Structures are given as structure tokens and as C-alpha cells.
Chain A
């Protein structure tokens, strides 16, 4: 069986049809994005009647919690054959490079730290935001909706760090879409 669905009869223009084998990675990517969108809509819709919320606020803690669970599990599989990390900074570097690129197809663009447990991870084109705006226009149009799109990832980060032995608080900051800064504050006991 040929893994191609080239349809010669209707494809009159002769446009190039990409063989399925080469695009399946990218395909998997959009599957996650659509699933994420559904989960987001579900959580937002379910909690929209919450009377404890002020105008314009949303309860996204469930979204964050789901991310936490996924992060907690996936880091085990990612680091299974990895050499033991030297220290905290080493783990954060791993998060910025291999971890981020295997989940979001690119590395973190900028890492800052005060060497006292605060890290700022900046992604200049965050995958879940990049279809909302490009760098030329409309950078602020959907700013209000952005927290929905990043809560899951905040949880993902927190969960992964938790399973590496770092308990933390992860917040995100967006001023211009699609740039996103994740603030990781390590909780010392």
C-alpha cells in the first residue's frame, strides 16, 4: 500500500503533493494544538459562571493542573536515558534547550537568572501564540485571551520541574504576541 494520497484525476494544476511520511511530525503538532484548544474552551466554558471572579478574570487553575500532570509524566520519559544533572541551573538549561525543542519545536530564546532561584525564560515565538499575530501587526488584539493559551504550559513547566525535585511557581508575562516570558520562582524550603 502506498502511503500517499496523490489524486491524479482531480489534481489538475499539478501542484506538488507532499508525501505523507515527511510531514507527519508537523501533522502531529497541529493535532496537539487542536486538542489543546478544545481543552481550553472546555475549562473556560465550565468556569465562566464562577461568581467569585471579578470582571475579566478567568479561573484557569484546572488548565494549569492538567499541564502539571502532563509535565510530571513527560519529564520522566524525556530524561530516562539522560546523565544526572549537576545542579539547578543545569536542569533549567535542559528545559530551555532539549525539553523545549522536543515539545515546542524551538528552543527558548533567552534565559535570565538572578542566581537566587528566579529564572526568566523568554520565547520570542511561542508555538501556541504564533498563529494569533505576527510581528508586523495586531500584536495586541488578542492579549486578553492569552492567559488561556499559556496556563497549560505554565503547569507543564511546573510539573516537569517538580518531578526533577524543584518546587516552583511559574507565571507568564506577555506584552506583545507571540513573545512570551515564563517566570520561574524556585521555592526554597
Chain B
């Protein structure tokens, strides 16, 4: 079989394409199932949350990183997470004066590699799974954050911008009956 072409398939690339296309199939199915695009956005966020809750363990195990000292530290670790899982490095910008809000700017995004939005889907947040992933992952390390898209390349913006806001520290829950 080796005689056919010199080049072997690029496993890494195919693997990320498998992810991209599978995600596309999911979004298409959700659009079919729900009448309302807002519901699709919500469902994607929820699925992302479930993924984030599990992904954080992979992240911590693979990187060996410890607790965050401040929100800037968190921002860098989120950036590293994108590098680890999606192979992209978003830039961290637009810090708020109080340091509790920042933006992640993506110039390219593997999730949207083969995607064009039809006019009927203008309210669809195609990558909304990412907001859920971040929320779920941060919650597992005792941080409540909010996260939303302010710019989207699929809607003809120059970059895709994801805004992240720190809400509060979650205290360790004490099991009932123990003080």
C-alpha cells in the first residue's frame, strides 16, 4: 500500500477536521430540532459547559499548572488552553480598568473552518460552545465567570472577539453535617 503516494495523511489535521465537521453536524441538527435560534445558542452553551467541566481535568493533568494568582494569570491559562486543545493562540486584549474583564481575539478559528452562515441564521452564535467550555472549566476551579461574543468573523467582523468577565470566587462547599 505504501507505493501509492509518497505523502501519508496528516493525522493531526484530519483529527481537527473530524472535530470541526462533527461540530458542524451538531449545529445543523440543533437548527433542525429547535425553531428558535436563541434555543440553539443556549443548547450549545450547555453542551460546552459539560465539556468544560471535563476538559479542565485534562488541562490540569497535561500542563501541571496550579492555582491562578489573579485574573491576568487566568487569562494566560485560558490562552494556553486554546493552544493546547485547538492549536490556536488568541490574543488577550481590552482589559477593563478594574482588571476583571478582558477579550480574547481570534484571527482564525478551527471551529468555523468550513462555515458560512446563511442569512436566516444571523442570530446564531455558531461558536457558542466555547463560552460554555470556559464557564464550565472555570467553575471547576472555583471561579464564576461570564462569557460572550462581541465580534464574529462569520458576521463579517475582522476578528472574532470573546469577552470574559470575572464574577466571583466560589467558596468550597462544605458537605452537609460537617463544619
Q: Which residue among B21, B25, B83, B87 has the maximum number of chain A CB atoms within 10 Å of its CB?
A: B25
Q: Contact: A83 with B29, CB < 8 Å?
A: no
| Contact partners of A25 in chain B: CB under 8 A | 11-12, 15
Q: How large is the interface on A (under 10, 10 to 19, 20 to 34, 35 or more residues)?
A: 35 or more
Alpha-carbon gap, A93 to B1, bound state (A): 9
Residue of B nearest to A2 (CB): B80
Chain B contacts with A in 58-80, Cβ cutoff 8 A: 58, 62-67, 76-77, 80
| Contact partners of A97 in chain B: CB under 8 A | 1
| Contact partners of A3 in chain B: CB under 8 A | 80, 83, 89
Alpha-carbon gap, A77 to B15, bound state (A): 12
Known A3-B89, A42-B47, A70-B21: A32·B65 in contact at CB below 8 Å: no
Q: Contact: A30 with B58, CB < 8 Å?
A: yes
Chain A contacts with B in 1-45, Cβ cutoff 8 A: 1, 3-7, 9-11, 15, 17-18, 20, 23-25, 27-32, 34-36, 38-39, 41-42
Residue of B nearest to A16 (CB): B64
Query: Which of B49-57, B94-102, B120-128, B167-175 lies at the interface?
Result: B49-57
* A101 at the B interface (CB under 8 A): yes
* A103 at the B interface (CB under 8 A): yes
| Contact partners of B4 in chain A: CB under 8 A | 82-83
Residue of A nearest to B73 (CB): A7
Q: How large is the interface on B (under 10, 10 to 19, 20 to 34, 35 or more residues)?
A: 35 or more
Residue of A nearest to B55 (CB): A34
* B142 at the A interface (CB under 8 A): no
* B9 at the A interface (CB under 8 A): yes
Q: Contact: A74 with B7, CB < 8 Å?
A: no
Q: Contact: A23 with B62, CB < 8 Å?
A: yes
Q: How far is the CB of A109 from chain B (nearest CB, A)?
A: 16
| Contact partners of A62 in chain B: CB under 8 A | 29
| Contact partners of A70 in chain B: CB under 8 A | 18, 21-22, 24-25
Q: How far is the CB of A55 from chain B (nearest CB, A)?
A: 25
Q: Contact: A11 with B22, CB < 8 Å?
A: no
Known A10-B67, A82-B4, A102-B9: A32·B19 in contact at CB below 8 Å: yes
Alpha-carbon gap, A29 to B29, bound state (A): 22
**Nearest 4 CB-CB pairs, A to B?**
A10-B66, A102-B14, A66-B25, A38-B47
Given A18-B63, A29-B15, 13 more contacts at CB 8 Å? A5-B65, A5-B77, A5-B80, A10-B65, A17-B63, A24-B84, A28-B87, A31-B86, A62-B29, A69-B21, A70-B22, A102-B14, A103-B14
Q: List 9 A-B contacts (CB under 8 A).
A: A5-B64, A5-B77, A10-B67, A20-B84, A24-B87, A32-B22, A36-B22, A39-B25, A98-B9
